[in-house]
């Protein structure tokens, strides 16, 4: 590995995540490319089936007092956060499209409430609507861009959401940087700006870091 390798994380990392990087000898810069504003949730107190495609949606409703019987979610970390807060997770998938396919195959007669952000993508609601599955949506958080211009280039950039990419490219160019993406949805946004893309094996921050370390070792 080039000893001067420096990467940019578009999300501030935990101490444990920073140690993963530092143990590889990779230098890094970090900032939050997006900021999350939680909104007050006004929905019925008892919900049979709820869909979560991000941890932010979980955080937004966790203290709302609503009773959710069954949770359907994207990502192991989202599942873990739900279970840590006493929620029952019925199905988990790696991305929204896969979760929609599971619901279409096994739960087509049920109705669902989708807790999401204002920039939620269309894959899941489109697939469910096309298959006549009853779906309501509740926007429980807003995503705001945190624009920052960097007067330097990076060997790699870690991206964790499409909106994080959109925020970064408002003020910066990808140039020759490798885009390390947390999943296929994020990678599809990255492809608008670069061909140099590596996708994590699992949709976790830690796996993005692992892929980065493997590439630059």
Each residue of 50-78: pLDDT tens digit?
999 999 999 999 988 889 999 999 988 89
52-63 as b/e: b if 16+ CB within 10 A:
bbbbbbbbbbbe
| Each residue's pLDDT tens digit, 82-103 | 999 999 999 999 889 999 999 9
Upper half-sphere CA count for residue 36 (Cβ side, 13 Å): 16
If you count DSSP H runs as helices and E runs as strands, how many of each does the chain have, helices first? Answer: 8, 11
The pLDDT value given to residue 110: 97
CB atoms within 10 A of CB 156: 22
The confidence band for 3, taking pLDDT boundaries of 50, 70 and 90, is low
CA 86, 206, 14, 10 torsion-angle sign? negative
At residue 34, what are phi and psi to the nearest 5 degrees?
Answer: -130, 155
């Amino acid at each position: 590995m080039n000893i001067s390798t420096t990467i940019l994380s578009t999300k501030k990392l935990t101490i444990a995540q920073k140690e993963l990087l530092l143990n590889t000898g990779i230098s890094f810069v970090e900032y939050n490319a997006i900021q999350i504003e939680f909104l007050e949730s006004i929905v019925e107190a008892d919900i049979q089936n709820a869909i979560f495609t991000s941890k932010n949606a979980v955080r937004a409703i966790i203290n709302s007092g609503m009773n959710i019987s069954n949770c359907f979610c994207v990502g192991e970390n989202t599942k873990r956060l739900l279970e840590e807060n006493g929620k029952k997770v019925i199905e988990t998938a790696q991305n929204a499209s896969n979760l929609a396919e599971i619901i279409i195959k096994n739960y087509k007669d049920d109705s669902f409430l989708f807790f999401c952000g204002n920039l939620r993508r269309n894959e899941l609601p489109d697939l469910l609507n096309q298959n006549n599955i009853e779906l309501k949506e509740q926007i429980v958080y807003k995503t705001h861009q945190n624009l920052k211009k960097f007067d330097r280039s990076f060997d790699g950039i870690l991206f964790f959401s499409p909106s994080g990419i959109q925020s970064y490219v408002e003020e910066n160019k990808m140039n020759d940087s490798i885009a390390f993406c947390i999943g296929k949805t994020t990678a599809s946004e990255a492809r608008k700006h670069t061909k140099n893309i590596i996708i994590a094996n699992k949709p976790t921050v830690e796996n993005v870091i692992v892929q980065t370390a493997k590439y630059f070792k």
